[in-house]
Every structure is written in structure tokens, then in C-alpha cells.
A and B are shown apart, each in its own frame.
Chain A
Amino acid sequence: EAQVTQNPRYLITVTGKKLTVTCSQNMNHEYMSWYRQDPGLGLRQIYYSMNVEVTDKGDVPEGYKVSRKEKRNFPLILESPSPNQTSLYFCASSPLAGGLTDTQYFGPGTRLTVL
């Protein structure tokens, strides 16, 4: 089944404890992206990757890191989480960014709480 998977789905952690949220897609997509969803603010892009080894900042990159060492995986790293990073996080992939195949496929989401 074609899908985007995220782990963990739920996480409660404490301020300052480094964490990684994994994202993997099995559709051979070039483009991957991370978003956070907060009430009243919609979806905001954190980072995106046009292809392997190419990443770029979205609208809200502060406090986050990413890497794209292989096409299928795009982990999101919070080096020192803070309470303002409590949110619902979505990973997404697309065949390409731009053009007729530009369609985001979203993962199920990771609900993160930072105490």
C-alpha cells in the first residue's frame, strides 16, 4: 500500500530532551515536507526537501532540524524541545514540487506535547 508513515503517533516529553520524529514514504517521491498544525494558524511548513541531500526552510524552521540522506526518509529533529513546539505534526511527500504531479500525500500525524 502506498503510504507515508510517521512514528511515533503520540509523544509526551519534557523541555530540553532531544527527540526525533521519523517519516518514511514508499512511493519513490522526490519531494518531502514537514508541517505543524495549530488551532487558528492552519498548517505551517517547517522544512521541505526537493530531493536527497537538498533541504530548505519553510515558514517556521526555528527549533527544528531535518536531514534527507535517502529518498524514502525525512526525519524531523527537535534538539531542545520547548512547550511552544507542542503541536500536531504532519509529514508529506509528493512526486515533485510543481507541475502536474504536484500532489501532497500526508502521513497520519504525530501529536507532540512538550511539558
Chain B
Amino acid sequence: AQSVAQPEDQVNVAEGNPLTVKCTYSVSGNPYLFWYVQYPNRGLQFLLKYITGDNLVKGSYGFEAEFNKSQTSFHLKKPSALVSDSALYFCAVRDPNAGGTSYGKLTFGQGTILTVHP
């Protein structure tokens, strides 16, 4: 069974400092990995994804994530945090090797609240 863990419920960082939001996953083979963000009073939005290719993925709003197969991780990073980055971040995994239509299953982590202080 596939699973995702976001080990930190909350991350606090000062504006201008680098930020990291951690994600680890478990699937049987090579995963598809995603980050989504939920801003206060706004809907869920796609940030970035790893499907194949370069392990470093760049996404929206200056975010990037690195796929590390040996550590089964997909941590979200940004070199310089903004107050406007404060939001709830979700990591998600899909197992493209699952049989039948089971690869349609998408499993999310429990979310990490990022707070960027001025």
C-alpha cells in the first residue's frame, strides 16, 4: 500500500530565510510525487510534481523539490521565504505501477502548516 508522511505539523521560518517542508513516501516502485498548497480561504492549488527525469523539480512561486529515491523523500524547498508563502502544504504520491485502475489512487500526507514571520 502506498503512503505519505509529513513529519512536521508546523514549520516556522523568518522572511528571507530558506524553507524546507519535509515529505517521505512509500510505494512499491518508482512514484509520481506532488506538492499542493492551500492558502487561507482559498482553494487547493498545484505547486509541482515529479514524474520522471531530473530529480530537482521547479514549480510555481519559486518553489522546488528534490526527489531522493534512496531516502524515499521529496522535500519542498524555497531559497528565500515570503510572508505570502504562509499556507498549508500537502505532499501526495501515486503508484504508476499499481495494477488495473489502482494507479488512480492518490494518497496525501496530513499536511504541514508553514508560517513565515516578517
Contacts and interface: CB of A to CB of B under 8 A. Distances in A.
B94 A98 contact: yes
A63 B105 CA distance: 18
Nearest to A49: B104
B108 A35 contact: yes
A44 B107 CA distance: 7
Contacts of A56: 101-102, 104-105
A98 B46 contact: no
A107 B43 contact: yes
Contacts of B43: 90, 106-109
Nearest to B6: A42
Contacts of A105: 46
A104 interface: yes
Contacts of A42: 6, 90, 108-111
A38 to B, nearest CB: 9
Nearest to B51: A100
A interface bracket (residues with beta carbon within 8 Å of B): 20 to 34
Given A103-B46, A104-B46, A107-B43, A97 B104 contact: yes
A22 to B, nearest CB: 17
Given A97-B94, A98-B94, A102-B51, A48 B105 contact: yes
Contact of B106 (A49, A54, A100, A104): A104
Nearest to A58: B105
A45 B94 CA distance: 12
Contacts of B46: 103-105
Nearest to B45: A106
A50 B105 contact: no
Interface string B10-39: 000000000000000000000010101000
Contacts of B49: 102-103
A4 to B, nearest CB: 9
Nearest to A32: B104
A7 to B, nearest CB: 15
Contacts of A109: 43
Interface of B: 6, 9, 32, 34, 36, 43-46, 49, 51, 90, 92, 94, 96, 101-111
